[in-house]
Structure 1
Amino acid sequence: SAVERAAFWARCDAITLHCPLTDATRGLIDDAALAAMRPGALLINAARGPIVDRAALEAALASGRLGGAGLDVFWDEPWDPTDPLWRHPRVVTLPHVAGSTTEAFDRIAAIVADNVARVRRGEPLQHRVD
């Protein structure tokens, strides 16, 4: 519930997002979520851009409520390099590469291989998101 989420946000010094973009997660980090976070908290989004309400993020940064943000994903990709968030002093941006490691690619390959075997056996897939 919104009350439970607000209580959760209030206990966190940093929030990291690693979830799929679904109807339930779109706009999950909005004005209310950012207002509930501890002053100076950090927000890291390595999931999908629209999980964070951009206007709410910009307002929280401008007011100083949010200590900073790390963004590996954006609302529109590829992201416009003239966007002011690229140069914001309390925002670190990456060009959607946080998961581009040998270990990540090996894990993805293993999951794909396992899911192919699961399909052949008529079993449910791992990590399915509808």
Structure 2
Amino acid sequence: MVHNLGINLPDNQLARFALTTIYGVGPHLSHRLCTRFQIHDKCRVKDLTPLQTKSLASFLQSPKTALPLPQYPLAPVNFVARPPSKSIQELQAEFNAARAAQKQKREEKLLQMGKKKKSRDPLTELRIESEL
């Protein structure tokens, strides 16, 4: 049995249904959690890897301090890769710099408009068990 937040999750139950035994986690939120931690719909609690179990437990304990999800660039449908002229590290550094510049522009725009920055990840505002 997996013991998470003082709750025993039954071994033979599907993970997405077992998560609903936590007070405040419904089917929709359970599906989002499974997606975030790459847990298959047909995966049972006993089949979870130790890394999935540990990351799920640490996220449920403090979702606001959790690391953001990595975002990878998406290619258009007609994209054809050309042979690499730069190393992976150089490409990743360029991508991160461009992303930081976009983020800075967005924050400046929000400050000009006088709006407060909101989190894009709804799971960071998760409240369960005693917080409810």
TM bucket (normalised to shorter chain) is: under 0.3
TM-score, with length taken from structure 2 = 0.25
Greater fraction helix:
2
- Higher radius of gyration, 1 or 2: 2
- TM-score normalized by the length of structure 1: 0.26
> Higher relative CO (CA 8 A, sep ≥ 6), structure 1 or 2?
2
